[in-house]
Amino acid sequence: MEKITIVKVGGAVVEDEAQLTQLLKDFAAIEGKKVLVHGGGRRATKVAAALGIESKMVNGRRITDADMLEVVTMVYGGLVNKNLVARLQAAGVNALGLTGADIDVIRSHKRPIKDGIDFGFVGDVEKANGQILHTLINAGITPVMAPLTHDGQGHILNTNADTIAGETAKALAPYYDVTLIYCFEKKGVLSNPDDDNSVISEITREDFERYKADGTVAGGMIPKLDNAFDAIDTGVKRVIITLATAIDGQHGTVIR
C-alpha cells in the first residue's frame, strides 16, 4: 500500500517564523504523498483581542460564540490557511487550502451541551470524505486543511485541529499506509512540563489513562492523545508527537 504522511502543525508554531519556515521546508522535502493540517488558535486569540472579543477556553478547547466564530473563520480559513498555501507553492508543493465545507470534505454537528458546558459553535466530526481526498491527492494535489467543518445546513463550525488531523488520517487509512505526525513546540509528550528533555518515548492507552489521572498529561495534550489513540484504533499505522523541526518521524513520542 502506498505511503502518505499527514502532518499537523499547531498554532504556536504557526506564530513562530523560524519554526514555521523550517517546518515548511521539511514538509516540502517529505517524499511521496502528504497532507498538512494546521491550527491557529494563538493568532485567533490575538485577532479577537484586537476586536475586543474575549477568548474563553475549557480543557484546552475554545468556547466559540457567534463573534468568535467569525474570527476563527477569517483567521483559520483565510489568513493562516492561504499564507501556508502560498508559502508551500513557493517551495514547489502544489497545495490546495481546504476547510471541511469545501467539497464537503468534513461534515460535523454542533456539540451538545455536556456537564453544563456549552462550547457554542463547535463541531464534532461525523464523517470525513476519504474518497474525495484520495482523488485530489492522486491528482498531485497536497491538501492544506484548516480546523473548520460544516453541518450540511449552511453553518461553519470550529473544530479542533488535532481532531481534523485524526479524522483525515482515519479517512485515508483505507487508501494508504498512513503516518500521522502531530508536531508542536515541544520535543514530544513530556513527563515534566518544565523539562523539555523529559520526553516519554512511547505511550500506550493504559499509560495515557494513568498520566491523565496523575496530572502528567493535561490541557490541550488530552484531546491530542485522544485523537492519536482513536486514529491507531481505526487503521492508521503510525502516530508520532514531536517537535515541529523533527518531522522525519525519528524522534518524539510514539503512540502504541
Residue 249 has pLDDT above 70, yes or no: no
The C-alpha atoms of residue 34 and residue 71 are separated, in whole angstroms, by 28
Q: What pLDDT is attached to residue 184?
A: 85
Residue 106 banded pLDDT, cuts 50, 70, 90: very high
Q: What pLDDT is attached to residue 163?
A: 92
What confidence tens digit (pLDDT) does each residue in 129-163 have?
Answer: 999 999 999 999 999 999 999 999 999 999 999 99
The C-alpha atoms of residue 6 and residue 4 are separated, in whole angstroms, by 7
Distances (CA, A) of 139 to 53, 92, 96, 106: 41, 15, 12, 20
Grid cell 511521496 — which residue? 32
Residue 11 has pLDDT above 80, yes or no: no
Q: What pLDDT is attached to residue 254?
A: 95
Residue 219 banded pLDDT, cuts 50, 70, 90: confident
Contact 6, 37 (CB under 8 A): yes
Partners of 232 in the β-ladder: none
Q: What pLDDT is attached to residue 193?
A: 87
Q: Pairing mode, if any, of strands 56-58 and 61-63?
A: antiparallel
Q: What pLDDT is attached to residue 185?
A: 83
62 in a known ligand binding site: yes
Contact 245, 22 (CB under 8 A): yes
Q: What pLDDT is attached to residue 248?
A: 75
The C-alpha atoms of residue 56 and residue 27 are separated, in whole angstroms, by 32
Residue 60 has pLDDT above 80, yes or no: no
Tell me the Cα Rg of the chain: 17
Q: Give the chain's mean pLDDT.
A: 94
The helix or strand, by DSSP H or E, that contains position 82, with its residue range, turns out to be: helix 81-90
Mean pLDDT of 110-122: 95
Q: Which domains does the chain have, with CATH numbers?
A: 3-255 (3.40.1160.10)
Grid cell 469545501 — which residue? 102
Q: Check residue 43 and report its DSSP letter.
A: H
Q: Which segments within 13-159 are labelled E, that is strand? A: 33-38, 56-58, 61-63, 95-98, 106-110, 123-128, 142-145, 148-150, 156-158
Residue 10 banded pLDDT, cuts 50, 70, 90: confident
Residue 70 has pLDDT above 90, yes or no: yes
40 in a known ligand binding site: yes
Instruction: State percent of the chain over pLDDT 70.
Output: 99
Residue 251 has pLDDT above 90, yes or no: no
166 in a known ligand binding site: no
Q: What pLDDT is attached to residue 137?
A: 98
238 in a known ligand binding site: no
Handedness of CA 100, 242, 28, 131 (dihedral sign): negative
3 state SS of 244: coil
Residue 240 has pLDDT above 80, yes or no: yes
Contact 232, 178 (CB under 8 A): no
Flag whether the pTM goes above 0.85: yes
Mean pLDDT of 105-126: 96
Who has greater pLDDT, 34 or 249?
34
Q: What pLDDT is attached to residue 245?
A: 78
Q: What pLDDT is attached to residue 250?
A: 74
